[in-house]
Structure 1
Amino acid sequence: MASRMSQLPTLETDEPSPVADEVRNLRAAIHHPTATATSKETSLDAKQLRTPQLSASVVITLLQILKKTPRLLFVMHPINGWDYVESLAQRVYFPVEPISTGELTVFYGILYNGIREILEQDQTSHIPTPQFKHDQDVCYKAFRAGVQAHELYAVPNYANTLALTIAILDVQFQGNLEAQWHLTSAAARHCLTLGYHRESTMQHLPPEEAKSCRRLFWHVYQSSQSMVLPLGKAPLIHEYDVDLQLPASDHDPSLAPWNMALNLFTKFFTLQANVYKSLYSPFAASLPPESRLASVEELSTTLREWYRTWNALDYTRAQHSKVFHVLFLPTKVAYYSLLALIYRASTTSSSIEDVSEECFTAAREGLEAHLSLYPPMSAMGAGALQLYAVWVFTRSTFTPYIITFVHCISHADRDDLETLRKVADTLDEIAAATNSCERQVGVCRALHRTAQAFIDSNQTQHRQDQMTPCHDSVVHLPLQNYNQEPFDWDLLQSNMNDWVIDGMMTAAVNLGSDLNANGPHYSEHQ
């Protein structure tokens, strides 16, 4: 997420101002700390983890239920089939040799996700729901204990990396970027140490093992790339250091769309990382204007081509096609958000008047995409809405809302204000669906109220014939710079109508990065 707003000085005034009140509210929303979720349960220790947490009969019954139908478990996680799961179960309950902490963590992570899938997807079962939920809680507690074990982070091997990757997907769905970065850092180190990023490594492995390791690496790589823009950090695995081929297309037509989605979103998040590298990194800040424009053209063209390919993907025959539809429905919002961010970098000028029309258009279309997608996502229930909230507020850039806000106050544009209002009206339900987006939602509301107060104030001054000359109302919108000190919102003074070009400060805030970098810690599942 990559938008910043500059400090805009004003004339001194002691009169009360609705605009000043809303600016203070906006400042409070940005600085409002994110609550950290804490577990009230006592965690298992390593010795307790090695004691089977469920009876063998319960596990056998669960595996029998899970094996009846194709499971999301195997398309969402880099696990190739039941043989591996059953081998883990045998080693837990009929051990010939000690089982590692990583393997135990994988085992309980698979059971936890499998039970969740039964609860969410299966229509009938002879096991009462309360029993399922109890078993799910037991498995999750054991899974968390394993994820917190030192061994997973210290020893690079397949099982430890897979356990971390299952945990990565779990926190991704929570929108917890801090935990995702922590887990991905360890998983990425393991992949590089094991040589999973090199095709030569796969050539020396048995075919099925190579297939598993290949999928595992690309899940970790995708997680690494996906956090570059939201957090303003270089990727943990660099594209230039990887020669591993993407997974081959699956011959099963019901699995091929899922495989293609993994490959396409690997490319999408790699493109996101390249946007940071070419346009917003410290390295990019020193590039001449012609290089910046060339990068904007190349990246925007690549993104448009990617989106055309994505829209051509036919998933009607995919396993769990309805889930596929819901899972990737917010792609349109992510596309326009990234496109707006790319076009924002076409100029280093901090004046809103120099921001390209393509940037404004992409920002507007991004918000309109949200408004069109929100009703169907909301109708699908709390789970779909939580997924959507994470997509919109932590996996997409904050650019469209900020661009539209600044365009609104710089042009006193009531159409923009109406768009901001409509978006703000959708946020109550989103905020209730997940606490990971609380600050982002609060900032959006505060920005809308600030724009409303500004335009109302501007109209009052029009009636009083006290308008500021046109050249004095230019609003500056600096480029993203992750290395600048956060903007001191206390310096914002009371009357936005008095913002003038001569007093512009270069300090600015990266709203998206600031909000995301202080997310909650790894917490209990909801």
Structure 2
Amino acid sequence: MERVDVLEKRLGEVENKRLVEAEDPQPRGADYRTTLESPMGGLRADVVPSMAEPTAGTSPYQGHSSFDDLSIQAAEFAKQATDIERHQDGPDVETTLDTLRLALRDTKSTPSTADYEFNRVQATSHGSIILPLPANLIIAILQHIKKQHPVFLSSYAINDPALVEDLSRQVYFPTNAVTIGHITALHAVLYFLLREHITLSTALCKDYDLKPLLDKCEQNVNSGLETYDVFAVPSFENLLALTMGMIKAQEETKPLLCTTFISAAASQCQRLGYHREITYRNDQTGRREHMRRLFWTVYVFDKNMSLLQGHSSHMQDFEIDAKYPALSPIVGVRPWDESFIVAIKLARIQGQIYNNLYSTMAIKSSSPDREQHINTLQANMHEVRAEFQQIDPSLVNHRQIFVLSRKHWDVMYYSTLTSLLRGSLMTGSVARISTQCFHAARLCLQSHMQCFSGYLDSGFLEDKDYANWVLHCSSFSSFVVIFLHAVAGSRMDDVELLDDMVGILHKCQASSKTSERLFQVCGTFAKLARQLVEARNSCVGTYSRQQDSLQLDIGVHRSEAMAGETM
């Protein structure tokens, strides 16, 4: 606490100085645009170049493992079924198919500039000048994290309150020039800590009006993350800023922006050598564990996004020999660290699923080779799940949130398992969906419903939190798999499961454009499934009721999906 007391004294001096200098916030030196020369200095954020609108007709690529790719194929299979038994289906089915075509076309629409940048907060009275937050607020935050380990510091990226204190000292009392990376990284960490105080309605909310301070902090973060230096210059602080930006983009349901940060962060990890254990052995900065946690956080996001969007990951396992993050000796923190390591192991499997089953080379591989990969990876997934179930949450900090995170993990596990099993025996022209895949998909949707209920029952999380951190962090291919099973097997229980899931999507649709599009696509699939099942139209592929498996001819439609067509 002595270090915090010293910082409090110095920040008090800064606050007094600030009152005198507040009338002249303009830059006063040549380096003012890239450094914070004093605690009272300002940073010009108007150096950010404007972004050009994406070229018309250029939609983001979505590969074989993506929800979009499977949705397009499933819609074509449904169209085939109606063509075969058109006389039984009637005009309602045709209308629903047309609606589905439009919904899928919307998912392939050209993104706007807004998809690649953060939501804008209202500008402060200082315009583009970035100024420090009130000194007493910084002190209050540092004192709070010393007394009680916050949820945010139990997360993947950082877990040490001393790092927050060090960043505060470097930015507010620099002995060397402070880069935009330092400033952005600190404000990003403070942004998430303030968000946690507001979400949990802590005592700090009674002492300060946190909302305008949060907006000011967010403006600082957004401005810093839009500078060239943060993206281009490899450093610990820039990597921390990019990692925070990656998390913030996920929080705002900006998958394209999140992918941009992942790419930049992965590149910096490699140039800094964070993927190699020798880097940590030779480290002289005292930040070895902080570096390690940043690297593995980027790794987890990279592998997950790779499988979700259907492209190879930036980090390849054959180049990595860095050890996992150390487990905390604190009994209340250790379960969080154990969960982090399990998440890393699941992410590694996600990367292997894409490489061995969905990559361009994997699609051309023989059925025996693919089957061997699936069996091996399925066994690995069972081991990871067993390890996760052995984590003891009885003494964990923030127990309610930790228990809720376990429901989230169930969704991640079963959605990944569905992606693994639906690649079973896939060749260039045929795909077979097994009873195991159908079972995993069903468990995935059921886990979604349990997780959603947990979020609402928590008392402090909302629909948008579930949408941002559960719905859009996991593959929703399970929904399409159950749609195919419902139609092929004429299963009304599957239709009801789809309807229940659509009910959740309906509640989340207002959270973002991505959520709205997902609701439109899945709602139309569910409506179509009910119409086809009620019409007893089961002409989707070749369904074996005895084995509960479905064989689909995908040769022609896969090439269409690759070309980005929507029927």
Q: Normalized against structure 1, the TM-score is what?
A: 0.82
Instruction: Supply the distance in 2 between the matched residues of 1:60 and 1:183 (Cα, whole angstroms).
Output: 30
1:485 aligns with 2:562: yes
- Residue 113 of structure 1 corresponds to 192
The amino acid of 1:320's aligned partner reads H
- Residue 204 of structure 1 corresponds to 282
Instruction: Supply the distance in 2 between the matched residues of 1:196 and 1:317 (Cα, whole angstroms).
Output: 32
Secondary structure in 2 matching 1:190: helix
1:191 aligns with 2:269: yes
The amino acid of 2:552's aligned partner reads H
Shift in Å at residue 281 of structure 1?
A: 0.7
C-alpha contact (below 8 Å) 2:307/2:351 kept by paired residues = yes
Shift in Å at residue 477 of structure 1?
A: 5.9
Instruction: Supply the distance in 2 between the matched residues of 1:82 and 1:404 (Cα, whole angstroms).
Output: 45
- Residue 103 of structure 1 corresponds to 182
1:407 aligns with 2:488: no
C-alpha contact (below 8 Å) 1:408/1:417 kept by paired residues = yes
C-alpha contact (below 8 Å) 1:330/1:388 kept by paired residues = no
For residues 49-80 of structure 1, give each alpha carbon's deviation from its aligned partner in whole angstroms, at most 9, with x where no partner exists: 3xx33233343344334433212232225335
C-alpha contact (below 8 Å) 1:29/1:439 kept by paired residues = yes
Secondary structure in 2 matching 1:395: coil
The amino acid of 2:257's aligned partner reads A
Instruction: Supply the distance in 2 between the matched residues of 1:45 and 1:234 (Cα, whole angstroms).
Output: 43
C-alpha contact (below 8 Å) 1:105/1:146 kept by paired residues = yes
Match of 1:449 among 500, 519, 527: 527
| Distance 1:478-1:310 versus aligned 2 partners, 3 A rule | farther
1:375 aligns with 2:439: no
- Residue 48 of structure 1 corresponds to 129
Shift in Å at residue 21 of structure 1?
A: 0.6
- Residue 29 of structure 1 corresponds to 103
Shift in Å at residue 152 of structure 1?
A: 0.3
Match of 1:417 among 495, 506, 524: 495
| Distance 1:92-1:469 versus aligned 2 partners, 3 A rule | closer
Instruction: Supply the distance in 1 between the matched residues of 2:348 and 2:161 (Cα, whole angstroms).
Output: 31
Instruction: Supply the distance in 1 between the matched residues of 2:472 and 2:462 (Cα, whole angstroms).
Output: 15
- Residue 226 of structure 1 corresponds to 304
| Distance 1:79-1:422 versus aligned 2 partners, 3 A rule | closer
| Distance 1:472-1:330 versus aligned 2 partners, 3 A rule | closer
Instruction: Supply the distance in 2 between the matched residues of 1:399 and 1:468 (Cα, whole angstroms).
Output: 21
- Any residues of structure 2 matched to 1:290-329 within 5 Å, and which? 290-329=368-407
Shift in Å at residue 89 of structure 1?
A: 2.6
- Residue 516 of structure 2 corresponds to 438
- Higher RCO by CA contacts (8 Å cutoff, separation 6 or greater): 1
| Distance 1:428-1:126 versus aligned 2 partners, 3 A rule | closer
C-alpha contact (below 8 Å) 1:53/1:138 kept by paired residues = no
For residues 325-379 of structure 1, give each alpha carbon's deviation from its aligned partner in whole angstroms, at most 9, with x where no partner exists: 2233122122222222222222226667x42221122222222333343323322
Instruction: Supply the distance in 1 between the matched residues of 2:315 and 2:510 (Cα, whole angstroms).
Output: 35
Instruction: Supply the distance in 2 between the matched residues of 1:470 and 1:85 (Cα, whole angstroms).
Output: 57
C-alpha contact (below 8 Å) 2:185/2:237 kept by paired residues = yes
For residues 283-311 of structure 1, give each alpha carbon's deviation from its aligned partner in whole angstroms, at most 9, with x where no partner exists: 10121111011011011111111111111
| Distance 1:84-1:301 versus aligned 2 partners, 3 A rule | closer
Gaps of 5+ in 2: 1-65, 545-549
| Distance 1:342-1:204 versus aligned 2 partners, 3 A rule | same
Secondary structure in 2 matching 1:336: helix
C-alpha contact (below 8 Å) 2:541/2:551 kept by paired residues = no
**Once superposed, what is the RMSD of the aligned Cα atoms?**
3.2
Secondary structure in 2 matching 1:206: coil
C-alpha contact (below 8 Å) 1:255/1:318 kept by paired residues = yes
Secondary structure in 2 matching 1:306: helix
Q: After superposing the two structures, state which structure 1 stretch, 412-421 or 5-14, moved more.
A: 5-14
Q: Normalized against structure 2, the TM-score is what?
A: 0.77
Q: After superposing the two structures, state which structure 1 stretch, 363-372 or 471-480, moved more.
A: 471-480
Q: After superposing the two structures, state which structure 1 stretch, 109-118 or 153-162, moved more.
A: 109-118
- Residue 145 of structure 1 corresponds to 223
Q: After superposing the two structures, state which structure 1 stretch, 181-190 or 12-21, moved more.
A: 12-21
Instruction: Supply the distance in 1 between the matched residues of 2:268 and 2:126 (Cα, whole angstroms).
Output: 23
Match of 2:343 among 265, 286, 292: 265
- Residue 45 of structure 2 corresponds to none
| Distance 1:372-1:39 versus aligned 2 partners, 3 A rule | closer
Q: After superposing the two structures, state which structure 1 stretch, 473-482 or 138-147, moved more.
A: 473-482
| Distance 1:242-1:427 versus aligned 2 partners, 3 A rule | same
Match of 1:74 among 141, 153, 156: 153
